[in-house]
Amino acid sequence: MNTVYDFTVKDRKKNDVSLADYKGKVLLIVNTATGCGFTPHYEPLEEMYKEMKDRGFEILDFPCNQFANQAPGDEDEIHQFCTLKFGADFPQFAKIDVNGETADPLFAFLAAEKPFAGFGKGLKNAALNKFADMNNKAFGDKAYIKWNFTKFLIDREGKVIARFEPTVDMKEVKEAVAAAL
């Protein structure tokens, strides 16, 4: 596997979607959860999507319940929540696992391309790191993603060019997306 275009994922209705369908676009691939403290990231994500989608930008949203059971609903419930509360209009896919033996191969690939490099400095980030380590202990060396709202930036050739942990300011994410466009 050399690019994200080599992967097929399931949409929220469980239909196969080849990521090759997104060739030539800049992608932001995000694992999300509706009950997470980072759920408000949906607002700047939607703003970014509205502002840049006509320039060849897509956000691909993959709900995941592996972090303190913060995405307990089914795909329809999650979609309804995101649409009604945040007006999220970008593609949302089937709920997946991002860690462990059942991790979606796409996320194992993304994490191998851009491994975790820390949540950053500060007390809040240190606390999240400790909590994430406890949560992810069961996944051992297959704890690819440390928490909800980890974002991977993909260039127009399907290569992973950046990883943003949920603690990264969304302005920084937006600037990187704009530069990739």
Catalytic residues: 36
Residue with token string 């999650």: 78
Cα–Cα distances (Å) from 164 to 101, 110, 117, 171, 173, in that order, read 23, 12, 9, 11, 7
User: How many Å apart are CA 12 and CA 139, to the nearest integer?
Assistant: 25
| Strand blocks (E) in the chain | 8-10, 16-18, 26-32, 57-63, 151-154, 160-164
Residues in the chain, how many? 181
- Cβ atoms of 75 and 43 closer than 8 Å: no
Question: Which of 70, 55, 57 has its CA nearest to residue 149?
Answer: 70
- Beta strand 160-164 with 57-63 is unpaired
Q: Alpha-carbon Rg of the chain, whole angstroms?
A: 15
DSSP annotation of 90: S
